[in-house]
A and B are shown apart, each in its own frame.
Chain A
Amino acid sequence: MTEIKDSAGSMDEASQDLGLEASLAELERIVLGLEEGDLTLEESLKAFERGISLVRRCNALLDGAEQRIEILTGDLPEDLAR
């Protein structure tokens, strides 16, 4: 039981750190896996949940997108700094 809990926990954390590109790649794998239809009902549900959480993660990344500007050397010109 502990084991299941742990793995579920780390799955959620991974989702928080995951970038757009990585999230989309994993989502694509999940969708294909589900479409293959070789999973048990339980596995399908797990994959489905993970998939939905990735969709939400991606949507959140898109919703929360604002221009983030950094500069490698020196200061950001005044008109660009916020």
Chain B
Amino acid sequence: MRLSNLWARGELSNVVNHRSGHRYFTLKDGDSQISCVLFRGNSGGLDFELANGQNVMVFGDVEFYRPQGRVQILVKAARRDSGFGGKHLELEMLKERLSAEGLFDAERKRPIPSYPACIGVVTSPDGAALRDVLMVLGSCPARIVISPAVVQGESAPGSIASAIAALQGIADVIIVGRGGGSAEDLSPFNSEVVARAISSSISPVVSAVGHETDVTIADFAADVRAPTPSSAAAMVRPDVEGLREELLGAEARMVRSLRASVDRRRARLGGLGRSLSGRRMRGMVFEERQNLDRIADRLVSAEDMLIDRLSGRLEVAEGKLESLSPLSTLKRGYCIAVTEGGIARRASDLNAGELFELVFADGGLLCRSMGDRSDRR
């Protein structure tokens, strides 16, 4: 038995204009669908381009396509029916309604966090999309939490929505998506319940549905639309190389600031030295400066220094600034012997008969050495 030369009416979907010139599509209405093929040889009389969502009437034979074990219509002619199909219209209306509600507003879009501690992925655990996402994320410094969802069929919209809800409070950013498929396969992402789950998510959502050319309502509701699951992962992945540079920069800035702080204190010490001028005590101040220089030099090579040792050193240096400040030392009752060659540190620095200055807190005395006191050695 053959069903020949009959008319069928419905809405076009999955239209593929093959390179060969043959056209493949699905004809749907309400709950039923059938595959159709329009061979190049039969398309001569076609006066319009086939497009998804179009209502058409086709004329042809029903045949059994053995290689794939399915029944299809071998189309011999097609003509446009009135306007777009019901499904398509329904979708446009939903889009309009949600848009009017403000679900797609640009102000609602939130940026993807730069360094998420946890990345949520809502998709089928068995799909290729998940593998793509995980491969691109690689070994990034973030937890990856998969929230499994059914991504096609009748239960998909509810499943996707609850998978998004389950990640609230866990993930800092959520990827929602699936790999490529037919318009029917992607339709759960055109559902209202998924759009609402996305827009009410506390964490930003990146939609990643199908291929680059597939745009769904989920894409409008999401904070960011990624053309594919792989590119969603690339958007979410923390920029590790940039981060390393930032850390190096932060370290350099800290070293520079601390050095500047040391420099300021050195300048103050310089001021102290000038206020003591005439007492030839700059030598002593100079020594403190060298001390600070040494500290500053070590700061510059902060990369390999031990912080503890450094801080110990600087604390000592700071203590020295207090206790070794020439003024406070002198006030405590010590004096300093200053010779032509600088500060005398040892008895042997002075020759018998040599003139030197003995500096007190309140002034200096010109003195002459009477010679070595061997009994005090």
A residues contacting B by CB (< 8 A) are 19-21, 24, 27-28, 30-31, 34-35, 37, 39, 41-42, 44-45, 47-49, 51-53, 55, 58-59, 61-62, 64-74, 76-77, 79-80
7 tightest A-B CB contacts, nearest first: A34-B257, A65-B141, A71-B146, A19-B117, A21-B115, A20-B115, A72-B147
- Contact between B258 and A45, CB atoms less than 8 A apart: yes
Q: A residues within 8 A CB of B92?
A: none
Partner of A34, one of B115, B247, B258: B258
Q: B residues within 8 A CB of A53?
A: 307
Q: A residues within 8 A CB of B137?
A: 67
**Cβ of B6 under 8 Å from chain A:** no
- Count contacts between A and B, CB distance < 8 Å: 127
**Cβ of B254 under 8 Å from chain A:** yes
Partner of A59, one of B117, B143, B247: B247
Q: B residues within 8 A CB of A20?
A: 115, 117, 141-142, 238, 243
**Cβ of B180 under 8 Å from chain A:** no
Known: A19-B117, A67-B134. A76 touches B146 (CB 8 A): yes
Partner of B144, one of A28, A34, A51, A70: A70
CA of A53 to CA of B311, assembled, Å: 13
- Contact between A73 and B143, CB atoms less than 8 A apart: no
CB distance from B300 to the nearest CB of A (A): 13
Identify 12 new A-B residue pairs, CB closer than 8 A, beyond the known A44-B261, A71-B146. A21-B172, A31-B257, A35-B253, A37-B264, A39-B261, A41-B262, A49-B311, A51-B250, A55-B247, A71-B125, A72-B147, A80-B134
- Contact between A72 and B145, CB atoms less than 8 A apart: yes
Q: A residues within 8 A CB of B139?
A: 65-67
B residues contacting A by CB (< 8 A) are 113-117, 125-126, 130-131, 134, 137-148, 163, 166-167, 170, 172, 238, 240, 243-244, 246-247, 250-251, 253-254, 257-258, 260-262, 264-265, 302, 307, 311, 314-315, 318
Partner of B146, one of A31, A66, A70: A70
Partner of A72, one of B114, B134, B148, B253: B148
CA of A35 to CA of B372, assembled, Å: 54
Q: A residues within 8 A CB of B113?
A: 21
Q: A residues within 8 A CB of B147?
A: 71-73
- Contact between B146 and A62, CB atoms less than 8 A apart: no
- Contact between B144 and A69, CB atoms less than 8 A apart: yes
A sample of 14 cross-chain residue pairs with beta-carbon separation below 8 angstroms, ordered by A number, consists of A20-B115, A20-B238, A34-B254, A44-B258, A44-B261, A45-B311, A51-B250, A53-B307, A59-B247, A61-B141, A65-B140, A74-B148, A80-B130, A80-B134
- Contact between A58 and B143, CB atoms less than 8 A apart: no
Q: B residues within 8 A CB of A35?
A: 253, 257
CA of A3 to CA of B96, assembled, Å: 63
Q: B residues within 8 A CB of A34?
A: 253-254, 257-258, 261
CA of A79 to CA of B125, assembled, Å: 11
CB distance from B324 to the nearest CB of A (A): 15
CA of A68 to CA of B143, assembled, Å: 5
Q: A residues within 8 A CB of B262?
A: 41
Q: A residues within 8 A CB of B144?
A: 67-70
CA of A48 to CA of B265, assembled, Å: 17
- Contact between A55 and B146, CB atoms less than 8 A apart: no
CB distance from A32 to the nearest CB of B (A): 9
Q: A residues within 8 A CB of B243?
A: 20, 24, 58, 62
- Contact between B258 and A48, CB atoms less than 8 A apart: yes
CA of A49 to CA of B63, assembled, Å: 80
- Contact between A24 and B115, CB atoms less than 8 A apart: yes
Partner of A52, one of B172, B254, B264, B265: B254
Partner of A44, one of B115, B143, B170, B257: B257
- Contact between B167 and A37, CB atoms less than 8 A apart: no
Q: B residues within 8 A CB of A69?
A: 134, 144-146
